[in-house]
Amino acid sequence: MVTVLAENNFGDTMSDGLAGPMGLLIIVLLAIATVFLIRNMNSRLRRLPERFPKQPGAGEEKTGETRAGSTGQADV
């Protein structure tokens, strides 16, 4: 009865499978790559200035121009 319970009935009876070790290797490599990416981004963020100079952005319009008039064409 013990041999019936221990029998593999799931199709693949290959004794030297590589799925487990290869999966572990991929997970370890991804973890190492993540650590290096986090360290790189932290060093880049430390090099940024505390505050950036005020620059006219997309939200701020220059004086004398309107959104509709910026194309140079008159409204009809």
pLDDT per residue as tens, the chain (76 positions): 666 677 766 766 666 677 788 899 999 999 999 999 999 999 999 999 888 888 877 665 555 555 555 555 655 5
Pure H helices in 6-63? 19-47
Residue listed under structure tokens 């799925």? 19
**C-beta atoms surrounding 29 within 10 Å:** 10
Residue-level length of the chain: 76
- Cα 28 from chain centroid? 17
